[in-house]
Chain A
């Protein structure tokens, strides 16, 4: 199966679930809104905007917010894949109940992100190392949040278990991660083309506003699709079955369903 067919299969299956439960998009929308509000409130208050410690704190807080809403999203995506009804309150309640685990998970992820960022500043070898380790880390932690929610584990334990599940499904995870990246690149290219056409037809400032709105919408759709996909891959890896919506010949080929 080509990467294009894989990407199409993943996108179509995740989109099917999203179309049935569009309210899932509220979680990334809220994450963006809360993070923008935090930035507007915190950044002007910094004495020195270049203060590394203060910026690191803002980074940790922002990442914590993103992980919190992602956890709520994954919890509701798991429910949607079970055929249960979903709600914003239900997802936020679930994330709030797992607050300590989410905080630990977020701190580990943010720290890894900082280390990778520091590596990238070390010239070309550093950038290569960052790319290599960053790729390995994104595969290792791919199922961390579904594990944290479904198995009620702590932050560190969820990442460890995600790595364990990766050993069973590394091929499926690697192909999926690559497929998702290809999907995101395609989405962004389409958005860019739409904005360029509008800039030519209408005016540039309108195109800029539209571009920002489209990029935000694109980020929300992509985050939701990826959360749905991770929840589905978790069910396949841990429970041994293909959830409804993903039970298609394309997904059977991607996941090597026996």
Chain B
């Protein structure tokens, strides 16, 4: 599945940080497979119409935090499962939002309401 990044200029969060959060969220929700190559800096910058330095900073911080790893001459990939850290406290809210949004969208597609979804979450709690 391709990495999906939705920029929200009204959030008051710098764009490089939104890209960072989108990748963390995609990794946490499985939207980005472990073996899947991330778009190159220039591809993603062109797609989002942002400065390449913005994507480069997001990738640099993702690499520093151990979420992704660059393979020389090949590209950038999600870090190996064992190496990838759990999202930091600052990113947890964004990751949870991503999980919820996907669940909510899928439920809405099947005409399942919020109360039903909530009841199921409660019932299915391990």
Chain A residues in contact with chain B, CB under 8 A?
Answer: 81-83, 150-151, 161, 164, 168, 235, 238-244
Interface string of B5-24 (1 = CB under 8 A from A): 00001101011110000000
Cβ–Cβ contact A241 & B9, under 8 A: no
Main secondary structure of the interface of B (DSSP, over half): helix
Q: How far is the CA of A241 from the CA of B17 in the complex (A)?
A: 10
13 cross-chain CB contacts under 8 A: A81-B51, A82-B45, A82-B50, A235-B53, A239-B14, A239-B51, A239-B53, A240-B15, A240-B16, A241-B54, A242-B53, A243-B51, A243-B53
Q: Which of B9, B45, B49, B57 contacts A161 (CB 8 A)?
A: B9
Which residues on A sit within 8 Å (CB–CB) of B56? 241
Complex: chain B residue closest to A246, CB-CB: B53
Interface string of B30-73 (1 = CB under 8 A from A): 00000000000000010001111110110000000000000000
Q: How far is the CA of A83 from the CA of B15 in the complex (A)?
A: 18
Cβ–Cβ contact A151 & B51, under 8 A: no
Which residues on A sit within 8 Å (CB–CB) of B15? 238-240
Q: Which of B10, B12, B54 contacts A239 (CB 8 A)?
A: B54
Which size class do B's interface residues fall under? 10 to 19
Q: How far is the CA of A235 from the CA of B15 in the complex (A)?
A: 9
Other A-B contacts than A82-B51, A240-B16, A243-B53, 11 sampled, CB-CB below 8 A, are: A81-B51, A161-B10, A235-B51, A235-B53, A238-B15, A239-B51, A239-B53, A240-B17, A241-B14, A241-B53, A242-B53
Cβ–Cβ contact A235 & B54, under 8 A: yes
Cβ–Cβ contact A240 & B52, under 8 A: no
Q: How far is the CA of A83 from the CA of B54 in the complex (A)?
A: 13
Which residues on B sit within 8 Å (CB–CB) of A161? 9-10
Q: Which of B10, B12, B49, B57 contacts A241 (CB 8 A)?
A: B57
Q: How far is the CB of A154 from chain B (nearest CB, A)?
A: 13
Q: How far is the CA of A46 from the CA of B16 in the complex (A)?
A: 53
Q: How far is the CA of A244 from the CA of B51 in the complex (A)?
A: 9
Q: How far is the CB of A66 from chain B (nearest CB, A)?
A: 25
